[in-house]
Amino acid sequence: MRKLKLSLIFALCFLILFVSAGYAEEIHVAVIGKSVHPYWAEVELGVKKAAEDLGVKATFFVPQKEDIQAQISQMESFIAMGVDGIAIAPSDPTALAPTIATAMSKGIPVITLDTDAPESERIAYIGTDNYSAGKLAGQVMSQLLGPEGGKVAIGTGSLTAMNSLERMRGFTDGIADNENIVVVTKPALCDFEDTGRAVTLVEQALLTYPDLKGFFGVYAINGPAAAKAIKTAGKVGEVLVVCFDTTAEHMQLIKEGAIAATIGQRPYMMGYKSVELLSKMVADGVDAALAELPEDRIVDTGVDVVAADAYVETLRVLEADSVEEYREKLIGLGIPVEGW
């Protein structure tokens, strides 16, 4: 009997050690995003998949909408809980820097995802190169409006997050060679990732500038918000929307032609790679994890230009894909395509 018990215990230990494909000891990492939105649901999908693949625990949190204080409090709770690593998308890099420093001083590695805080003590950044992606959006707008240009409005969800600021800086450079494009919203219309507010701001802009020719939507919230307001005003095709992201809602509006083109980020990859990198830092040490990263510690997850059928040929010079070509590309990259 005793022998049987012992062999059972051995068998159990063996199972525990070898069944989980990932790390032997339970690693717990936390990921903090910026708002409740399908974009962040895609990040969460990547987070969950990586946790499953690696056999680690990953907790995901987003505030209702842009909320710097909520990010700070949640990060403080994660530090107090003693999580092993944190990935955060700081809504304000300056405001989050002291909390990032606190985590690091307690031996909790911190990385940023989606939007960076390069002046903080964060170890690495995983996400879009936002300046280049913004510049690409500007070139797309310029190409679509042609030499006649026209008035363009800009809507964003944040005037502090670095990804928003970098995209707008890039956009300005992207349209620079077309002197007939005039940006009329200075500063950009800001909704703090509140969808209702985002739509209202576009409605107001359409009234203020009846001859508006283009709208640049900086965040995932802004493109669909603009498209909705433009549809209601009966101005589809008259005011062209160039925006960011490829949620199911974006893809539907692109198919309708209400969004002319969008810069598709890879939020699933941002989530997946964040958990992967943090887990490696915890299991093998920060130096070993860094040895696998580029020297600047920036992991560029890449972007794609996706255009509505009516505009895709005009945008081939910028390597635009049609909706179907984009779908194939995502599948090839191992990114799940859901809802469109």
Stretch that binds ligand BGC, among 45-53, 71-79, 214-222, 281-289 (CB under 6 A): 214-222
Among 71, 74, 112, 115, binds ligand BGC (CB under 6 A): 115
Judged by beta carbon, residue 78 or residue 244, the one nearer ligand BGC is 244
Question: Does 163 sit near ligand BGC (CB under 6 A)?
Answer: yes
The CA distance from 304 to 92, in Å, is 26
Judged by beta carbon, residue 89 or residue 153, the one nearer ligand BGC is 89
Contact 306, 321 (CB under 8 A): yes
Question: Does 271 sit near ligand BGC (CB under 6 A)?
Answer: no
The CA distance from 150 to 225, in Å, is 21
User: Footprint of ligand BGC on residues 54-83 (CB under 6 A)?
Assistant: none
Q: Which alpha helices (H) appear in the chain, and where do they start and end?
A: 2-19, 38-54, 68-81, 93-105, 130-145, 162-174, 195-208, 222-232, 248-256, 267-284, 286-290, 309-312, 323-333
Question: Does 166 sit near ligand BGC (CB under 6 A)?
Answer: no
Helix (H) or strand (E) holding 197: helix 195-208
DSSP code string of 217-229: E-STTHHHHHHHH
- The token pair at 11 is 């068998």
The CA distance from 340 to 327, in Å, is 9
The CA distance from 229 to 210, in Å, is 13
Contact 70, 63 (CB under 8 A): yes
Burial (CB < 10 A; 0-12, 13-18, 19+), residue 169, is middle
User: Footprint of ligand BGC on residues 122-161 (CB under 6 A)?
Assistant: 157
Question: Does 220 sit near ligand BGC (CB under 6 A)?
Answer: yes
Looking only at the bridges linking them, the beta strands covering 212-217 and 240-244 are parallel
Among 42, 92, 166, 193, binds ligand BGC (CB under 6 A): 193
CB of 324 to ligand BGC, least distance (A): 23
The CA distance from 308 to 327, in Å, is 13
CB of 35 to ligand BGC, least distance (A): 5
CB of 191 to ligand BGC, least distance (A): 9
Among 60, 131, 216, 244, binds ligand BGC (CB under 6 A): 244
Judged by beta carbon, residue 50 or residue 190, the one nearer ligand BGC is 190
CB of 87 to ligand BGC, least distance (A): 13
- The token pair at 105 is 């001083």
Judged by beta carbon, residue 39 or residue 272, the one nearer ligand BGC is 39
The CA distance from 4 to 42, in Å, is 48
Question: Does 268 sit near ligand BGC (CB under 6 A)?
Answer: no
Judged by beta carbon, residue 54 or residue 88, the one nearer ligand BGC is 88
CB of 190 to ligand BGC, least distance (A): 12
Contact 156, 219 (CB under 8 A): yes
Stretch that binds ligand BGC, among 46-54, 93-101, 140-148, 216-224 (CB under 6 A): 216-224
Judged by beta carbon, residue 219 or residue 326, the one nearer ligand BGC is 219
User: Which residue in the block uniquely carries the two structure tokens 């505030």?
Assistant: 63
Q: Coil, helix or strand for 10?
A: helix
CB of 314 to ligand BGC, least distance (A): 24
Q: Which residues of 279-306 are buried (b: 16+ CB within 10 A; e: fewer)?
A: bbbbbeebeebbeebeeeeebebebbbb
Site string for ligand BGC, 14-43 (x = CB under 6 A): --------------------xx-x-x----
Stretch that binds ligand BGC, among 116-124, 181-189, 215-223, 277-285 (CB under 6 A): 215-223
Would you tell me which residues interact with ligand BGC (CB under 6 A)? 34-35, 37, 39, 89, 114-115, 157, 163, 193, 219-221, 244-245
